[in-house]
Chains A and B, each alone.
Chain A
């Protein structure tokens, strides 16, 4: 009978969990690895940067890859204190999203336009069908998120993801008389 084997590629330097290729894992400066759960926890302190060059190629900069295991461990211990500082900075909202660019799409006959607000989740998480508030030039509008799309490819046919702290994504919503531009904040309570 063919041999059954486990698929782990090692163990996380921080928590000891198995590194599973199907879940993904992060790399550290010394060549060690941390699991996707530890990466997700400290991502809010070290946000992932996604840009595109003139040829349309993705340029990805992950500050976690520049950390040593000791620095990553210290970050893991301080992540909640860091999140509390961010909460205090943003009026104790439970989640905050900074809008960096906006794209609109026609909503259909007699329907309001669909707004794709691209940016970064500062902290917290955003899921489809969450109720949030758009803070635009001193005013606040209630919105319902119809989708959360990955920044690399977004459109109606692409499946939704979860917007988590430190990651870039596009929040999708629509509504009458909504104005959204770069610099706005979308918050969740």
Chain B
């Protein structure tokens, strides 16, 4: 019978008897299966060759060997909050709270369960990013607030291609993460200079918004577009913060024209429920009036 037949495990090379566990190169032994369950999500290894399974087990060999000796701490090593009895996530070499696990899953663009197959050393750098911490510290420990530097180092919108999934995920490249210490120390002065330049050019206003694109909105019903008198003004906040129901003014040769901002959205065109657009942020202003007098490249003065 096949069950009693001696087989060679393609992962560790040892002989074993029994049904074994499925991988792309055949059945592997239960000893390896205990380790595989720690570093792979459920059934993920079914379609992987033995070489890849072996490589991952070798990568996490130390963490797997020490798995049973890890004790649950009182506080989360990432946020420092008290670690709840049940609502926590077990990593390979640590315990973290559920909130940090969910944040890590969002930052890594993986499922919540995949975080349990990682080590703390892989997750901690995500929380050191300037956008997550709200700023960055230089080598001497001086902390620089990210929001005040976005006027010169705004987040750069990009897209992530996730294999096996249709479409793209929105992501941001943070220039603050790759700045040298000298550039970081010079950044506040550069931000102040930029602010002064904008105020000298456009005057003192609550916010200044540069228009990139104007789009007329529509409802899609059964393949037919029904356009409505609502527009999305896409662009970037050059200075200041914009909140709901702010008044935007555009200067034309024959006079100024006013717009009332009904809704705010971020760089994703379908989002329209933000409360505030911060300095340096790309986003959209939703306006419910005819917008034929605004052009790409225009500057909207918000008060």
Q: Which residues on A are within 8 Å of B, measured CB to CB?
A: 1-8, 11, 16-18, 20, 22, 37, 40-41, 44, 76, 79-80, 83-84, 87-88, 92, 94-95, 123-125, 127-130, 160, 162, 164-165, 188-189
Contacts and interface: CB of A to CB of B under 8 A. Distances in A.
Contact of B158 (A1, A8, A123, A125): A8
Given A130-B216, A162-B215, 18 more contacts: A4-B169, A5-B161, A6-B171, A8-B158, A8-B173, A11-B156, A37-B296, A40-B212, A41-B296, A79-B296, A83-B295, A87-B253, A88-B253, A94-B292, A94-B293, A124-B292, A129-B227, A165-B296
B295 A1 contact: no
The list of the 5 closest CB pairs from A to B, nearest first, reads: A94-B292, A2-B163, A127-B216, A18-B158, A79-B297
A7 B160 contact: yes
Contacts of A95: 292
B253 A18 contact: no
Contact of B225 (A44, A125, A128): A128
A162 B295 CA distance: 13
Contact of A6 (B41, B110, B173, B215): B173
Given A84-B253, A127-B227, A37 B168 contact: no
Contacts, number: 95
A80 B299 CA distance: 9
Dominant secondary structure of chain B at its interface with chain A:
strand
B212 A6 contact: no
B164 interface: yes
A40 B225 contact: no
Nearest to B111: A1
A7 B114 contact: no
A33 to B, nearest CB: 15
B114 A40 contact: no
B275 interface: no
B241 to A, nearest CB: 21
A106 B227 CA distance: 25
B159 A124 contact: no
A55 to B, nearest CB: 34
Nearest to B41: A1
B213 interface: yes
